């Protein structure tokens, strides 16, 4: 019986007889590589701080030393899990407050430059466009990847999301990838936004050929991949601002000088980087875990000492006379064991510990409370009571908006607005949304997330209180109220879809 050996499928590789790059291409590749090394050297000052934060709050994602092995245990140094639980809870709360899954957390509305008649005519089309964009978000992997970005945001202070266009004909037009903080190198533009990004990828030759549309591969790399198809090559992807657009360059970094795999231009940057808080003169953000890191380390050490003290309390410390009969090395403290001793000697006796007042639990409770407060676990936690009055709901929403007010403003400008603009640009190119510029003048973004609605609750309550007081004054005072205009204002404040509001030209 003969067996046939199946040949490995060959990956089509485009190898020129002599891949000769022009002097301009070599200069461009060297410039990109030098710019990446400069940005990497600036980032190196943060790596030790990031590693501490990830070790105690998110150990499964921290890999700044390059020694991460998938599946390996990463929590050997953790004795207190308060920070892990609070960080995960804060990330989940951000997901529910900013970009809730399967919910319309944004919309499109007519801009201020349009007349009332133009706004009324355009509102239904914009509302339908916002539903189309939301449907693509819901069908994509957005919820999975943005949650990973929120974890990086809470622990490391900076999150990065790659927003790429999916292959035409797919279930969704969007494809997202959460870039770990250990892999991304960022640059800050003149406007204070993070508009430059570098990322090192480890790809096989087959993945390179698929990702970069059959690029030319150096002969040495092709021969190496032919010997072992699973060989991985380092590829540097750089997306840098260039005027009103962003240039894209992919470089193969191994097997000689850097080799250009692909270049291109994006109207909107596919890399969306955002920060929790920013200190003057710094590119990367500061996280709430950084603020609570001293308490996190102290609580972890306190629990470690408590466990050591508990082991001593359970097993005890024993003493015995060295009488030549009792051998401490052969003693086993087990039930029913007979321990020999010399006649007249005291034998084996427990060592009495000095009396003391144990304050370790009091210290630990205080530390854990401060950690939960720093990570807002005590403010954003689920409602403990099944019944809450309307006033309690409003006060809770107002407190959340106050806590996340500054952070929400930064996330709105660095995350939500670029995210929606990038999605609108992709679908406009595909012809699924109207061909109108999303510039804030003709078409504006209407934020409808729970946190955005919470910020408008105060204005709604003030308006309703004024209307109620005026109506109580009598029929003559009612003439001072423009009820249709008040109804439209309440609808806009509560993020009601604009196609449900009757505009003045339609009345």
pLDDT in tens, 7-61: 444 545 554 444 455 777 888 889 999 999 999 999 999 999 999 999 999 988 8
Q: In 10 A of CB 284, how many CB atoms?
A: 23
Q: In 10 A of CB 121, how many CB atoms?
A: 15
Nearest to 266 by CA among 141, 165, 339, 373: 165
Which is higher by pLDDT, 396 or 384? 396
| Separation of alpha carbons 413 and 420, rounded Å | 11
Nearest to 331 by CA among 322, 344, 342, 340: 340
| Separation of alpha carbons 363 and 305, rounded Å | 12
Q: DSSP letter for 389, please.
A: -
Nearest to 410 by CA among 281, 285, 275: 275
| Separation of alpha carbons 489 and 459, rounded Å | 10
SS3 for 209? helix
Q: Would you state the pLDDT for residue 349?
A: 67
Q: Would you state the pLDDT for residue 348?
A: 65
Percent of the chain with pLDDT over 90: 34
- Show the tokens assigned to 342: 């010399």
Long-range own/partner contacts, residues 460-464 (CB < 8 A, 24 or more apart): 460/490, 460/493, 460/494, 461/394, 463/489, 463/490, 463/493, 464/490
User: What angle is formed at CA 161 by the lines to CA 263 and CA 270, rounded to 5 degrees?
Assistant: 30
Residue 405's pLDDT band (cuts 50, 70, 90): confident
Nearest to 416 by CA among 98, 150, 167: 98
Q: Would you state the pLDDT for residue 7?
A: 46
Among the residues of 440-503, which ranges form H helices?
A: 450-471, 475-478, 483-493
Among the residues of 316-449, which ranges form H helices?
A: 360-374, 390-403, 405-411, 417-430
User: What angle is formed at CA 424 by the lines to CA 423 and CA 425, rounded to 5 degrees?
Assistant: 90
Contact predicate 94/153, CB 8 Å? yes
Cα distances (angstroms) measured from residue 45 to each of 49, 50, 127, 273: 8, 10, 46, 19
Write the DSSP string, 21-47: --HHHHHHHHHHHHHHHHHHHHHHHHH
| Separation of alpha carbons 257 and 28, rounded Å | 12
| Separation of alpha carbons 381 and 373, rounded Å | 11
Contact predicate 307/394, CB 8 Å? no
Q: Would you state the pLDDT for residue 401?
A: 67
Which is higher by pLDDT, 75 or 443? 443
Sign of CA dihedral 23, 26, 32, 37: negative
SS3 for 108? strand
Residue 4's pLDDT band (cuts 50, 70, 90): very low
pTM: predicted TM-score of the whole model, two decimal places: 0.82
């Amino acid at each position: 019986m003969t067996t046939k050996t199946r040949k490995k499928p060959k990956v089509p590789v485009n190898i020129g007889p002599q891949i000769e790059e022009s002097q301009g291409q070599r200069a461009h590749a060297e410039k990109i590589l030098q710019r990446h090394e400069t940005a990497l050297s600036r980032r190196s000052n943060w790596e030790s701080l990031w590693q501490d934060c990830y070790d105690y709050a998110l150990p499964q994602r921290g890999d700044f030393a390059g020694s991460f092995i998938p599946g390996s245990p990463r929590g050997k140094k953790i004795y207190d899990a308060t920070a892990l639980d609070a960080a995960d809870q804060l990330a989940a709360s951000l997901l529910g407050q900013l970009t809730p899954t399967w919910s319309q957390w944004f919309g499109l509305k007519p801009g201020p430059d349009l007349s009332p008649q133009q706004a009324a005519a355009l509102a239904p089309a914009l509302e339908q466009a916002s539903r189309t964009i939301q449907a693509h978000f819901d069908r994509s992997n957005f919820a999975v990847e943005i949650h990973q970005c929120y974890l990086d945001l809470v622990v490391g202070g900076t999150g990065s999301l790659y927003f790429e266009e999916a292959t035409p004909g797919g279930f969704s037009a969007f494809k997202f990838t959460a870039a770990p903080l250990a892999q991304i190198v960022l640059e800050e533009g003149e406007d204070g936004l993070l508009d430059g990004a570098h990322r090192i990828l480890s790809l096989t030759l087959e993945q390179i050929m698929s990702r970069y549309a059959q690029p030319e591969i150096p002969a040495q790399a092709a021969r190496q991949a032919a010997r072992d198809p699973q060989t991985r090559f380092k590829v540097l992807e750089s997306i840098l601002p260039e005027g009103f657009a962003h240039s894209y360059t992919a470089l193969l970094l191994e097997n000689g000088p850097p080799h250009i795999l692909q270049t291109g231009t994006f109207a909107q940057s596919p890399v969306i980087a955002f920060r929790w808080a920013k200190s003057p003169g710094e590119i990367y953000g500061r996280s709430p875990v950084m603020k609570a890191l001293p308490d996190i380390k102290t609580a972890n050490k306190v629990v470690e000492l408590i466990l050591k003290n508990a082991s001593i309390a359970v097993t005890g410390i024993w003493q015995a006379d060295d009488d030549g009969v009792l051998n401490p090395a052969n003693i086993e403290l087990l039930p029913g064991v007979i321990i020999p001793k010399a006649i007249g000697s005291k034998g084996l006796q427990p060592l009495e510990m000095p009396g003391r007042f144990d304050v370790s639990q009091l210290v630990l409770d205080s530390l854990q409370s401060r950690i939960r407060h720093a990570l807002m676990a005590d403010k954003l936690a689920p409602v403990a009571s099944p019944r809450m009055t309307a006033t309690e709901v409003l006060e809770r929403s107002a407190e959340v908006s106050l806590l996340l007010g500054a952070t929400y403003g930064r996330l709105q400008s660095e995350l939500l607005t670029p995210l929606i603009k990038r999605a609108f640009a992709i679908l406009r190119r595909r012809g699924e949304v109207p061909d109108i510029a999303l510039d804030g003048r003709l078409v504006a973004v209407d934020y409808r997330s729970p946190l955005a609605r919470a910020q408008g609750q105060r204005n709604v309550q003030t308006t309703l209180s004024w209307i109620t007081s005026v109506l109580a004054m009598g029929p003559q005072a009612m003439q001072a109220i423009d009820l249709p205009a008040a109804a439209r204002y309440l609808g806009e404040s509560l993020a009601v879809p604009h196609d449900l509001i009757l505009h003045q030209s339609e009345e």
